[in-house]
């Protein structure tokens, strides 16, 4: 039986397990939309293609499933770019389907043409730098090969985004439906695991180490290694810090947690690293700009370095390690723990970490190196509420990052998604909405008022599809980060940082959602008594002083 290419594409998506697709139609992609009409994939109308791509990424990040988005040609495709770039940097399995003018119009100046012919916008070149795979599908005879190649990148161990652009006439061509058998089906064949890595060398270095420190990276979360990390660190009595993206890999309330590492963290882990640690065990941690305090070489001076990562490209990427191991992190941690038990390794004589943190806090107060002063007490209070109120855990998409790194102690039951990808403002709301289509726990999006205005209209997407969501806007009527830099490094020559906000109460009213303004600690403490975060869409304003800046330097 022959079916339309557009139907074939939709069936391919279904075979990959896609049941939700985010997008914005246009004339040049309507055949695929028409095929979606007949399918049981839920097609979600976003307000902007960037939002659609962020939603697909948010869904992928929260579930591990493939996220999908769909747009028309030309501006529909170009609007996708930042969202796809985000998926590329965050290594998310996201597929985008875009339309294109019919092939017979290529190079003749068709409306919204982006084929690259005849001086038109060239989608292929635009997507080349932000996708694992991009194809303008001009013929059907190689469609199966193209889709197989796309599936390979989406289901790879380290996945990445794929963009398929299909000219209008090709979408309507007919193709043999039995060719679907040649495409991967819902459960992609499991990729063979990595061969078991040797643990002996690592155990030897561990024996010699007096005060080792574990730096857990996002690789631990990707590998589902949280429980293994907890068991190993507890057995060996080794404290744990994490990169920003791996916050919560070990519950940050746990006695061995030093919180996260990075220029905007509370700094306990940094102090421990500088003053106590003689051996660092990097587990799935890339040691990027923030985690490494701007690649500060002095941090690792005279320390032994063990690096374990699933991704070989991460090994020795920033620092040369004494031992590098390519391994699945969960399996490796389990093997390490087993070897440590078999060899009866004695636990390390780590000093009392909660007491250490308290001492460091007192020192920061005394020497004025604390990042946040009293003007941020409302923010602190808000994060405390998040920690205390939701015993089942929450899903938190956070564009601000700086606050959370100091104030938010992520529990193992929570999922924390800092805006790490390309760090694009305006990510949190659409990404949280994408996740909200799938996850059952309360979903939060936290962002500044500048970022909010980049993606606020996507809140109406949540309204349209009844996706419960609580958006928290830090209202300081400025782009605080820019203002801070202009204050400190550009002699207070403030340019294009301050602005007037909309009336958030009226905005929320017009959206038909709940609004709360938090100006006092009492209001903050009562907030979650009043809001139903499980069922409603809420907009919460947390008021901040325009001139209050965190006390840290990013050197830029």
The yes or no reply on residue 481 touching ligand TPP (CB under 6 A) is: yes
Output the CA–CA distances (angstroms, integers) from residue 430 to 17, 52, 72, 92, 511, in the order listed: 21, 7, 19, 15, 16
Task: Tell me the CB-side half-sphere exposure of residue 40, using CA atoms within 13 A.
Answer: 2
Q: Tokens standing for 294?
A: 């701007």
* 136-143 own/partner pairs: CB under 8 Å, 24+ apart: 136/100, 136/165, 136/166, 136/167, 137/164, 137/165, 137/166, 137/167, 137/170, 138/103, 138/167, 138/170, 139/170, 140/5, 140/170, 140/173, 140/175, 143/5, 143/8, 143/175, 143/179
The yes or no reply on residue 450 touching ligand TPP (CB under 6 A) is: yes
* CA separation for the pair 56, 93 (Å, rounded): 9
Strands annotated E in 171-229: 174-176, 212-216
The yes or no reply on residue 314 touching ligand TPP (CB under 6 A) is: no
The yes or no reply on residue 337 touching ligand TPP (CB under 6 A) is: no
The yes or no reply on residue 480 touching ligand TPP (CB under 6 A) is: yes
Q: Shortest distance, CB of residue 518 to ligand TPP, whole angstroms? A: 15
- Residue number, nearest CB to ligand TPP: 448
The yes or no reply on residue 482 touching ligand TPP (CB under 6 A) is: yes
- Give whichever of 236 and 386 is closer to ligand TPP, judged by the CB atom: 386
- Give whichever of 95 and 542 is closer to ligand TPP, judged by the CB atom: 542
Q: Shortest distance, CB of residue 217 to ligand TPP, whole angstroms? A: 22
Q: Of 6-14, 260-268, 359-367, 443-451, which part binds ligand TPP (CB under 6 A)?
A: 443-451
What mask of x and - would describe binding to ligand TPP in positions 38 to 77, judged by CB under 6 A? Answer: ----------------------------------------
Residue from 449, 508, 516, 527 in contact with ligand TPP (CB under 6 A): 449
Q: Shortest distance, CB of residue 490 to ligand TPP, whole angstroms? A: 15
Partner that binds at residue 540, options Mg ion, ligand TPP, none, CB closer than 5 to 8 Å by kind: none
Q: Shortest distance, CB of residue 267 to Mg ion, whole angstroms? A: 24
How many residues belong to the site for ligand TPP (CB under 6 A)?
16
Q: Of 19-27, 291-299, 409-417, 479-487, which part binds ligand TPP (CB under 6 A)?
A: 479-487
The yes or no reply on residue 448 touching ligand TPP (CB under 6 A) is: yes
Judge contact between 336 and 329, C-beta under 8 A.
Answer: no
* CA separation for the pair 341, 337 (Å, rounded): 6
Cβ neighbours of 159 (radius 10 Å) = 19
Taking CB under 6 A as the criterion, which residues in 356-415 touch ligand TPP? 400
* CA separation for the pair 52, 412 (Å, rounded): 29
447 pairs with which residues across the strands?
473
* CA separation for the pair 361, 357 (Å, rounded): 6
Task: Tell me the CB-side half-sphere exposure of residue 207, using CA atoms within 13 A.
Answer: 12
CA dihedral 172, 178, 182, 188 (to 10 degrees): 90
Residue from 71, 288, 307, 476 in contact with ligand TPP (CB under 6 A): 476
The yes or no reply on residue 262 touching ligand TPP (CB under 6 A) is: no
Q: Give the residue from 342, 400, 201, 364 showing the smallest Cα distance to 281.
A: 201
The yes or no reply on residue 6 touching ligand TPP (CB under 6 A) is: no
Partner that binds at residue 155, options ligand TPP, Mg ion, none, CB closer than 5 to 8 Å by kind: none
- Give the DSSP per-residue string, 74-134: THHHHTTHHHHHHHHHTT--EEEEEEE--GGGTTTT-TT--B-GGG--BHHHHHHTT-SEE
- Give whichever of 291 and 424 is closer to ligand TPP, judged by the CB atom: 424
* CA separation for the pair 171, 73 (Å, rounded): 13
- Give the DSSP per-residue string, 35-62: HHHTSSSEEEE-SSHHHHHHHHHHHHHH
- Give whichever of 266 and 404 is closer to ligand TPP, judged by the CB atom: 404
* CA separation for the pair 143, 136 (Å, rounded): 10
Partner that binds at residue 400, options ligand TPP, Mg ion, none, CB closer than 5 to 8 Å by kind: ligand TPP
Partner that binds at residue 451, options Mg ion, ligand TPP, none, CB closer than 5 to 8 Å by kind: ligand TPP
Using CB under 5 A as the criterion, which residues of the chain lie in contact with Mg ion when the complex forms?
Answer: 448-450, 476, 480
Q: Of 41-49, 320-328, 445-453, 486-494, which part binds ligand TPP (CB under 6 A)?
A: 445-453
Taking CB under 6 A as the criterion, which residues in 412-431 touch ligand TPP? 423-425
Q: Of 163-171, 236-244, 409-417, 473-481, which part binds ligand TPP (CB under 6 A)?
A: 473-481
The yes or no reply on residue 304 touching ligand TPP (CB under 6 A) is: no
* CA separation for the pair 349, 10 (Å, rounded): 58
Q: Shortest distance, CB of residue 58 to ligand TPP, whole angstroms? A: 16
Partner that binds at residue 550, options Mg ion, ligand TPP, none, CB closer than 5 to 8 Å by kind: none
Partner that binds at residue 424, options Mg ion, ligand TPP, none, CB closer than 5 to 8 Å by kind: ligand TPP
Q: Tokens standing for 493?
A: 């020559």
Would you tell me which residues interact with ligand TPP (CB under 6 A)?
A: 400, 423-425, 447-451, 474, 476, 478-482
């Amino acid at each position: 039986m022959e079916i339309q290419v557009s139907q074939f594409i939709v069936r391919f998506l279904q075979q990959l397990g896609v049941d939700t697709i985010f997008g914005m139609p246009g004339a040049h992609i309507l055949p695929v939309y028409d095929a979606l009409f007949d399918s049981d994939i839920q097609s979600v109308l976003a307000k902007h293609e960037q939002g659609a791509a962020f939603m697909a990424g948010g869904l992928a990040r929260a579930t591990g499933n493939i996220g999908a988005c769909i747009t028309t040609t030309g501006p529909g495709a170009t609007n996708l770019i930042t969202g796809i770039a985000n998926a590329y940097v965050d290594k998310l399995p996201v597929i985008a389907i875009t339309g294109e003018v019919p092939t017979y119009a290529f190079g003749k100046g068709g409306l919204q043409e982006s084929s690259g012919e005849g001086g038109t916008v060239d989608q292929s070149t635009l997507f080349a730098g932000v996708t694992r795979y991009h194809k303008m599908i001009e013929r059907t005879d190689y469609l199966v090969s193209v889709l197989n190649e796309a599936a390979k990148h989406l289901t790879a161990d380290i996945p990445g985004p794929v963009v398929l652009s299909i000219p209008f006439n090709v979408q309507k061509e007919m193709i043999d439906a039995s060719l679907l058998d040649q495409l991967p089906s819902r459960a992609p064949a499991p990729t063979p695991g990595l061969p078991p890595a040797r643990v002996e060398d690592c155990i030897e270095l561990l024996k010699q180490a007096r005060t080792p420190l574990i730096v857990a990276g996002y690789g631990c979360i990707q590998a589902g290694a949280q429980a293994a990390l907890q068991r190993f660190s507890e057995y060996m009595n080794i404290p744990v810090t994490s990169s920003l993206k791996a916050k919560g890999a070990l519950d940050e309330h746990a006695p061995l947690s030093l919180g996260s590492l990075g220029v905007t963290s509370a700094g306990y882990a940094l102090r421990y690293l500088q003053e106590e640690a003689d051996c660092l065990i990097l587990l799935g941690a890339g040691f990027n700009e923030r985690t490494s305090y701007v690649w500060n070489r002095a941090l690792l001076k005279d320390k032994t370095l063990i690096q374990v990562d699933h991704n070989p490209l991460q090994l020795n990427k920033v620092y040369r390690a004494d031992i590098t191991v390519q391994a699945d992190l969960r399996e490796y941690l389990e093997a390490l723990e087993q070897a440590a038990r078999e060899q009866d390794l004695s636990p390390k004589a780590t000093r009392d970490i909660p007491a250490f943190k308290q001492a460091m806090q007192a020192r920061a107060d005394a020497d004025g190196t604390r990042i946040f002063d009293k003007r941020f007490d409302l923010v602190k209070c808000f994060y405390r509420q998040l920690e205390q109120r939701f015993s089942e855990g929450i899903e938190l998409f956070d564009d601000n990052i700086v606050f959370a790194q100091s104030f938010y102690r992520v529990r193992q039951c929570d999922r924390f998604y800092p805006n790490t990808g390309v760090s694009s403002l305006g990510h949190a709301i659409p990404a949280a909405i994408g996740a909200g289509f799938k996850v059952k726990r309360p979903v939060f999006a936290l962002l500044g008022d500048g970022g909010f205005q980049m993606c606020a209209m996507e809140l109406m997407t949540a309204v349209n599809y009844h996706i419960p969501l609580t958006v928290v806007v830090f209202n300081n009527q400025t782009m605080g980060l820019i203002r801070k830099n202009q204050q400190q490094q550009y002699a207070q020559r403030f340019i294009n940082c301050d602005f007037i906000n909309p009336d958030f109460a009226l905005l929320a009213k017009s959206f038909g959602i709940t609004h709360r303004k938090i100006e006092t600690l009492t209001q903050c403490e009562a907030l979650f008594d009043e809001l139903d975060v499980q069922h409603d869409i809420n907009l919460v304003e947390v008021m901040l002083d325009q001139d209050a800046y965190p006390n840290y330097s990013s050197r830029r």
